Amino acid sequence: MIIDQFNRVHDYLRISLTERCNLRCFYCMPEEGILLRPRSEFMSAEEVIEMAKVFVSLGVKKIRLTGGEPLVRKDAKKIIADLALLPVELAITTNGILIDDCLCTFKSSGIKSINVSLDSLKKERFNSISRRNYFDKVTSNINLLLKENFHVKINAVVIKGVNDDEICDFVAWTRDKNVHLRFIEFMPFLGNKWDWSKGVSFKEIITKIEKQYGDDVIKLKDAVNDTAKNYSVKNHMGTFAIISSVTNPFCDTCNRMRLTADGKIKNCLFSGTETDLLSAMRNGEDIVPLILESIWNKKRIRGGMNSFEDFSDPSRFQKNRSMVSIGG
Ligand code: SAM
Ligand code: SF4
Ligand code: SF4
């Protein structure tokens, strides 16, 4: 069992398959892009599987593939198929562009739930946020997933003056679409020019929705390790949720750890420190003690940013990587 000093059992691993991406979302990817490094510095498909097996032997029950954009990796389908042979629930977070190409692999691998990022329902705006022109592709792939009866979660990072005027439009979208929308508070990472004046809090989001929908807003039950507060609106097919990583963290029940594409374990999304598992594995060392030690040393809240005030000191999060290279 992988456990920390606060008795939190870690059974959920997020693996980043690549730092590369076919979008350039301004809140995730630094404007200048990220430094491209030789392929040899990243986990091969075989190493991903070998790592995953070690984590599974330590009690991991769920693996989520992420990135960068996990599906841009040429061997993504093989990795998915091989991971599907392990006794874990397999999930994926994707920007949606390559979903149609991977649908058969998702089905044959037993993936049932897919998270797709969509920050605007307006084509021009989506394309401007992501600095590319894939709105039609992403939305048609979301429809494809729904047609094929996948459980579809939609991630939208809410940013003031960018898309906060669409909060109620997104909720209206769930009336006839069986999607599970998740509004995410804007988080700080290296190079994303974060400051909380651009953030929209959980409270502001729910207040806007309640103003529009009043008593029709229904609070749903949240799962134990759920990072989201879940809601629905009466008679809507879909649901919505708010992920309040900044104003109201959900660290008490955290069961998550991350493996970056270059094989480093991060015990928390906001942790400034990492442990290099890939080099150790390549040197033939046992990586189990490294995993256990990394998680044991995990801070109780947001990598040590215990209060909201800590966000006003950039040195607290500038040691962290950009989100595209952590694996969201
Ligand atoms: N490329 C895939 C995608 O966009 O879904 C997977 C990787 S992406 C880093 C994972 C999630 O992190 C996305 O939903 C994205 O919106 C979210 N994300 C990235 N930067 C963020 C930030 N600064 N604040 C909040 N969420 C962020
Ligand atoms: Fe790429 Fe996802 Fe980051 Fe957008 S949020 S730049 S799609 S990794
Ligand atoms: Fe877990 Fe860190 Fe996220 Fe808190 S901030 S829920 S400790 S990963």
Residue for token digits 């420190």?
273
pLDDT tens digits for 264-293? 999 999 898 899 999 999 999 999 999 999
Are 230 and 220 in contact by the 8 Å Cβ rule? The answer is yes
Burial class (CB in 10 A: 0-12, 13-18, 19+), 82: middle
The fraction of the chain above a pLDDT of 90, given in percent, is 80
Whether 267 and 297 have beta carbons less than 8 Å apart is answered as yes
Average pLDDT over residues 215-228: 92
Rg (CA), the chain: 19
First to last CA, the chain: 24
pLDDT tens column, 68-97:
999 999 999 999 999 999 999 999 999 999
Q: Is 269 in the pocket of ligand 3 (CB under 6 A)?
A: yes
Q: Does residue 4 lie in a domain region?
A: no
Mean pLDDT of the region 28-54: 92
The CATH number of the domain where 176 resides is what?
3.20.20.70
Joined together, the tokens standing for residue 311 give: 């966000």
| Minimum-distance ligand 2 atom for the alpha carbon of 21 | 1
The residues lining ligand 2, judged by C-beta closer than 6 Å to any ligand atom, are 21, 23-25, 28-29, 67-69, 95, 117, 130, 323-324
Q: Is the shortest distance between the CB of 250 and ligand 3 below 6 Å?
A: yes
SS3 sequence, the chain?
CCECCCCCECCEEEEECCCCCCCCCCCCCCCCCCCCCCHHHCCCHHHHHHHHHHHHHCCCCEEEEECCCHHHCCCHHHHHHHHCCCCCEEEEEECCCCHHHHHHHHHHCCCCEEEEECCCCCHHHHHHHHCCCCHHHHHHHHHHHHHCCCEEEEEEEEECCCCHHHHHHHHHHCCCCCEEEEEEECCCCCCCCCCHHHECCHHHHHHHHHHHHHHHEEECCCCCCCCEEEEEECCCCCEEEEECCCCCCCHHHCCEEEECCCCEEECCCCCCCCEEHHHHHHCCCCCHHHHHHHHHCCCCCHHHCCCHHHHHCHHHCCCCCCHHHHCC
3 found inside a domain? no
* Nearest alpha carbon to residue 94 among 66, 136, 135: 66
Phi, psi of 116 (to 5 degrees): -120, 135
- The pLDDT value given to residue 300: 93
In this structure, is residue 1 part of a structural domain?
Answer: no
Q: Is the pLDDT of residue 319 over 80?
A: no
Range of the domain at 110: 12-326
Is the pLDDT reported for residue 204 higher than 70? yes
How confident is the model at residue 304, as a pLDDT? 84
- Could you tell me if residue 233 is inside a domain? yes
pLDDT at 190: 75
Report how far ligand 2's centroid is from the alpha carbon of 35 (Å). 15
CA distance 174 to 181: 8
Backbone angles phi, psi at 327, to 5 degrees: 100, 100
Predicted confidence (pLDDT) at residue 318 exceeds the cutoff of 70: no
State the total domains in the chain: 1
Q: What are phi and psi of 184, to 5 degrees?
A: -115, 130
Task: Please state the pTM of the whole predicted model.
Answer: 0.95
Atom of ligand 2 nearest to the CA of 22: 1
Q: Looking at the domain assignment, is residue 286 inside a domain?
A: yes
Mean pLDDT of the chain: 94
- Report which bound ligand comes closest to the CA of 24: 2
Q: Which residue has the higher pLDDT, 273 or 104?
A: 104
Residues 6+ apart with CB under 8 A from 207: none
287 domain residue, yes or no: yes
Across residues 153-170, what is the average pLDDT? Answer: 98
pLDDT for position 177: 96
Instruction: Take atom 4 of ligand 2 and give the residue whose Cα is closest.
Output: 25
- Burial environment of residue 66 by CB neighbours within 10 A (0 to 12, 13 to 18, 19 or more): buried
* CA separation, residue 238 to residues 181, 182, 318 (Å): 8, 11, 37
Q: Is residue 192 part of a domain?
A: yes
